[in-house]
């Protein structure tokens, strides 16, 4: 191999390539979340990442390929990666797969297979390049790994800046550009320079011209395309933020008034649809500035608290289009505040639709902060007469109400407890969701309320609760003090006039149930009573069809209801329609199983092949130890990364900040650890077992004390918290950066041709662990994920002692 490979250009090539790979991965998740649904993105991208493992497997079967890995070949691979990124996106965007159609078009699975194949190619090319470089230069792998991780860190942070550009395709174009820069750096020269420049020029043209061929194709069953059905409907504003695509839509089909009474067949004022990531419909309501003219809000269930007591101050979480603000204004609330991560909707409305919205976000003294609701209640010292949580379907639950794998820290016992702490003496906490039998969301809200009231020291939680039903929604009010008789009288009057059904208040009688919107039996009331009573609650949780136990911060999955032990009954209760299982925890299981299956093939196949070809292989025990070592460190690394991101979401106010701080600091510090490992003699470095035990000890300390440390630091300014987060992650990351490069060095000394195989095991494990972490967290919580990660490091330590390669 040419000497030029050891120049800064060579390392730069690796840096840009891994930057591009990370950019591509995260951009794909973002784009597929918009085009289809988050679950689908998770499923497809995890398989695409297995392209890395496939490359390692390929090189283990054809080791001569590594020997021919010249600078020119590396440059060609990087260039091909760039081309593959553009082609993979373009082709996958045209594959007519639709998750919705799977239930009646079996050939949709072929399209899914098409996705897998197309999207795995760019990652396969990256894997080929990295594996061959590691195999040929195993003695400087620490340094190589340093640039690999630094590139990945920069890519993962850059993606936040570029994803929102070029109609959401900024991440794709930048990933391709990174590949081209990498190509040039691997083999600088006139021809290569021209080829790379031509490629970058082509990408620049695509970026600027935004040809329609590359426009993101959205599932026709998402809310946005459905709103665009009427001929006159149109998108009037689109904005890509680092975390979401926000569309403002003008359409006759926009109708957002959850639970509106049908008593007067009211036509709503005209509304402008606000759609996040193509789904989650909300709306800006036309407002002429006269708060008294908003009479339609009196027919909404959200008006109930104002009929029960005088509300002077109100806090709205995730106000989005501001319907809750309109209600508050109509009822004369003096102090109105809002907090949420989609504050940009208010900003766009102020800038472009101020007249339509009657200056709602500008003229009425409403204070809105772009911060996660949990962080807001943590930092504020105010007490409110009313705190409104967003209707849960908007965030946690998707269509089937089983949007399992997405964490939601707003609907946990700790969150409800915190909200109750910020209520005034007679204040109300308002929670609602869409009704969707078989009952699930409704019951979890009730279980959360009971647990939160108990945690607040209430001796009689049911005395604080009111629950009603409309035709399509369920509403729970939690009062900081016991509900009194005048309030009950007002409640009855309010519901009677609007045709809303009473579900619960202290002292409710059977004749008041199930009157206007009738189930065959008053099932919501019956289930609620089972949860409210201490004597029946535990048994109800055990026997109920779905898991409706309260969610906690350690297991923050409000939308996860499925129980594996009730699989058959759930299938029956859903009318024998398996499509519902496409969402929720079962899809994660599918992702996990398919990742396991494909990984086993990639890992086992090369060994079988090599044995057949009579290649020299280490003894069987060492092979197992090798596999266990690289697989375990891959699993452990990713599990810890996922746990840390979760732990820091609350600490840093925003999932985006948490992901950036954790991924960035962890990768950079791991890169430093990797670099330092090269400075050690291999003999010294190979005391890795002790190092791993040290790491296990530190991890155990983190598992024990991190939640408390974060809770203590939460009141500090964001910048201080960010520094604390980076410092805490860096200690771990530094130690976690040692095992892989040291292992590769050791392996390269005697079995260099097995390095790609080890790389395959390691990268496959990283993919498996992302689904595995969610599966464990869904059932047992993130503390257990951390414990399992520690277990994997222990396995790695034990494996390192069993290694006998010489």
Partner 1 sequence: MFRLAFITFALAPLLLVLHRQDEYAAERAALVRELSKSGITDARVLTTMKSVKRHLFVPKDLRSWAYDNMPLPIGEGQTISQPEVVAFMTQELHLKDTDKVLEIGTGSGYQAAILAELVDSVFTIEIKSKLAANSANLFRELGYKKIQTKCADGYYGWPEHAPFDAIMITCAVNHVPPPLLQQLKIGGRLILPLGSTRFYQTLTRLTKTEKRIEADYLGTVAFVPMSGAANKS
Q: Which residues bind partner 1 (CB under 8 A)?
A: 98, 100-101, 103-105, 215-218, 220-221, 223-226, 228-230, 233-235, 238, 252-253, 255, 257, 260, 262-263, 265-267, 393, 398-401, 434-438, 471-472, 499, 516-520, 574-575, 577, 579-580, 582-583
Q: What is the largest CA-CA distance in the chain?
A: 88
The residue with tokens 């795995």 is 120
Nearest Cα to Cα of residue 136 among 72, 52, 70, 61:
70
Euclidean distance between CA atoms 398 and 583, whole angstroms: 9
Q: Which is nearer to partner 1, 577 or 687 (CB)?
A: 577
**Residues 785, 558: contact at Cβ < 8 Å?**
no
The residue with tokens 């691979």 is 77
Smallest distance, partner 1 to C-beta of residue 143, A = 47
Q: Which is nearer to partner 1, 226 or 285 (CB)?
A: 226
Smallest distance, partner 1 to C-beta of residue 265, A = 5
Phi/psi at 255 (5° precision): -155, 100
Smallest distance, partner 1 to C-beta of residue 223, A = 7
Q: Which is nearer to partner 1, 253 or 726 (CB)?
A: 253
Euclidean distance between CA atoms 652 and 648, whole angstroms: 6
Q: Which is nearer to partner 1, 233 or 726 (CB)?
A: 233
Euclidean distance between CA atoms 303 and 286, whole angstroms: 19
Query: Cα-Cα-Cα-Cα dihedral of 469, 470, 475, 476, to 10°?
Result: -30
Cis? peptide before 438, omega within 30° of 0: yes
DSSP classification of residue 391:
P
Euclidean distance between CA atoms 594 and 47, whole angstroms: 8
Smallest distance, partner 1 to C-beta of residue 522, A = 11
Q: Which is nearer to partner 1, 16 or 256 (CB)?
A: 256
Euclidean distance between CA atoms 772 and 471, whole angstroms: 39
Smallest distance, partner 1 to C-beta of residue 570, A = 12
Alpha-carbon distance values, 384 to 277, 366, 433 (Å): 32, 14, 22
Smallest distance, partner 1 to C-beta of residue 236, A = 11
Which is it for strands 279-285 and 313-317: parallel, antiparallel or unpaired?
A: unpaired
Q: Which is nearer to partner 1, 460 or 472 (CB)?
A: 472
Query: Cα-Cα-Cα-Cα dihedral of 10, 14, 19, 20, to 10°?
Result: 90
Q: Which is nearer to partner 1, 102 or 463 (CB)?
A: 102
Euclidean distance between CA atoms 48 and 715, whole angstroms: 40
Smallest distance, partner 1 to C-beta of residue 514, A = 10
Smallest distance, partner 1 to C-beta of residue 579, A = 5
Smallest distance, partner 1 to C-beta of residue 571, A = 12
Nearest Cα to Cα of residue 573 among 549, 545, 544:
545
Q: Which is nearer to partner 1, 575 or 717 (CB)?
A: 575
Smallest distance, partner 1 to C-beta of residue 79, A = 32
Q: Which is nearer to partner 1, 144 or 218 (CB)?
A: 218
Q: Which is nearer to partner 1, 180 or 528 (CB)?
A: 528
Smallest distance, partner 1 to C-beta of residue 99, A = 9
Nearest Cα to Cα of residue 736 among 662, 652, 655, 805:
662
Which is it for strands 501-504 and 465-469: parallel, antiparallel or unpaired?
A: antiparallel
Q: Which is nearer to partner 1, 217 or 537 (CB)?
A: 217
Quick one: how far is CA 198 from the chain centroid?
36
Nearest Cα to Cα of residue 563 among 788, 778, 773, 783:
778
Q: Which is nearer to partner 1, 327 or 582 (CB)?
A: 582
**Residues 789, 639: contact at Cβ < 8 Å?**
yes
Smallest distance, partner 1 to C-beta of residue 660, A = 30
């Amino acid at each position: 191999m040419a000497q030029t490979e050891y120049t800064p250009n060579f390392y730069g090539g690796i840096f840009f390539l891994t930057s591009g790979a990370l950019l591509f991965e995260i951009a794909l998740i973002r784009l597929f979340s918009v085009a289809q649904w988050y679950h689908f993105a998770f499923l497809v991208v995890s398989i695409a990442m297995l392209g890395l493992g496939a490359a390692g497997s390929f090189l283990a079967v054809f080791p001569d390929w590594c020997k021919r890995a010249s600078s020119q070949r590396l440059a060609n691979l990087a260039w091909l990666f760039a081309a593959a990124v553009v082609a993979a996106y373009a082709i996958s965007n045209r594959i007519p797969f639709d998750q919705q159609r799977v239930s009646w078009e079996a050939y949709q699975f072929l399209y899914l297979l098409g996705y897998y194949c197309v999207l795995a190619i760019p990652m396969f090319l990256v894997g080929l390049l990295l594996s061959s470089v590691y195999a040929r230069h195993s003695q400087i792998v620490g340094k190589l790994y340093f640039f690999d991780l630094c590139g990945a860190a920069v890519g993962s942070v850059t993606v936040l800046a570029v994803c929102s550009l070029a109609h959401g395709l900024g991440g794709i174009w930048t990933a391709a550009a990174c590949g081209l820069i990498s190509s040039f750096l691997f083999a600088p020269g006139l021809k290569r320079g021209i080829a790379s420049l031509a490629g970058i020029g082509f990408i620049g043209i695509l970026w600027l011209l935004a040809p329609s061929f590359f426009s993101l194709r959205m599932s026709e069953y998402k809310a946005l395309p459905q709103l665009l059905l009427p001929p006159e409907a149109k998108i009037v504003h689109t904005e890509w933020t680092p975390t979401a695509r926000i569309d403002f839509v003008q359409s006759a089909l926009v109708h957002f008034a959850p639970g509106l009474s049908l008593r007067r067949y009211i036509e709503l004022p005209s509304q402008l649809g606000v759609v996040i990531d193509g789904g989650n419909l909300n709306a800006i309501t036309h407002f002429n500035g006269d708060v008294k003219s908003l009479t339609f809000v009196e027919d909404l269930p959200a008006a109930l608290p104002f009929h029960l007591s005088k509300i002077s101050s109100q806090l709205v979480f995730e106000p989005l289009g501001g319907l809750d603000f309109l209600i508050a204004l109509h009822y004369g609330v003096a102090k109105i505040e809002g907090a949420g991560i989609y504050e940009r909707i208010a900003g766009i409305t102020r800038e472009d639709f101020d007249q339509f919205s009657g200056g709602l976000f500008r003229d009425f003294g409403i204070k809105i902060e772009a911060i996660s609701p949990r962080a807001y209640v943590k930092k504020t010292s105010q007490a409110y007469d009313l705190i409104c949580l967003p209707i849960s379907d908007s965030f946690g639950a998707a269509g089937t109400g089983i949007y399992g794998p997405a964490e939601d820290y707003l609907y946990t016992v700790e969150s409800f407890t915190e909200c109750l702490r910020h209520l005034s003496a007679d204040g109300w906490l308002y929670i609602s969701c869409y009704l969707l039998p078989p009952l699930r969301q409704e019951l979890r809200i009730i279980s959360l309320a009971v647990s939160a009231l108990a945690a607040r020291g209430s001796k009689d939680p049911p005395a604080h609760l009111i629950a009603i039903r409309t035709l399509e929604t369920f509403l729970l009010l939690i009062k900081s003090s016991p509900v009194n008789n005048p309030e009950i009288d007002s409640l009855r009057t309010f519901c009677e006039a609007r045709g809303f059904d009473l579900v619960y208040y202290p002292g409710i009688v059977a004749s008041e149930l199930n009157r206007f919107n009738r189930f065959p039996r008053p099932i919501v009331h019956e289930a609620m009573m089972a949860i409210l009573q201490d004597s029946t609650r535990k048994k109800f949780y055990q026997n109920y069809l779905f898991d409706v136990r309260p969610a906690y911060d350690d297991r923050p999955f409000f939308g996860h209801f499925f129980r594996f032990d009730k699989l058959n009954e759930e299938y029956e209760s859903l009318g024998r329609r398996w499509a519902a299982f496409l969402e929720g925890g079962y899809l994660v299981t599918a992702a996990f199983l398919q990742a396991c299956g494909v990984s086993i093939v990639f890992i086992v196949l090369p060994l079988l092949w090599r044995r057949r070809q009579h290649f020299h292989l280490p003894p069987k025990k060492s092979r197992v130890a090798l596999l266990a070592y690289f697989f375990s460190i891959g699993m452990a690394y990713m599990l810890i990364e996922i746990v840390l991101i979760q732990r820091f979401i609350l600490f840093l106010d925003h999932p985006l900040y948490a992901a950036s701080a954790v991924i960035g600091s962890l990768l950079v510090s791991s890169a430093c650890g990797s670099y330092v490992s090269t400075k050690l003699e291999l003999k010294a470095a190979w005391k890795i077992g002790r190092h791993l035990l040290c790491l296990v000890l530190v991890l155990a300390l983190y598992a024990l004390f991190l939640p408390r440390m974060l809770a203590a630091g939460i009141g500090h300014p964001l910048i201080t918290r960010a520094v604390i987060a980076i410092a805490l992650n860096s200690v771990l990351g530094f130690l976690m950066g040692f095992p892989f490069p040291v292992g590769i060095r050791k392996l390269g000394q005697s079995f260099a041709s097995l390095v790609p195989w080890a790389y395959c095991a390691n990268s496959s494990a990283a993919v498996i662990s992302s689904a595995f972490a969610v599966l464990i967290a869904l059932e047992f919580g993130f503390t257990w994920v951390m414990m399992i990660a520690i277990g994997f490091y222990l396995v790695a330590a034990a494996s390192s002692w069993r290694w006998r390669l010489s």
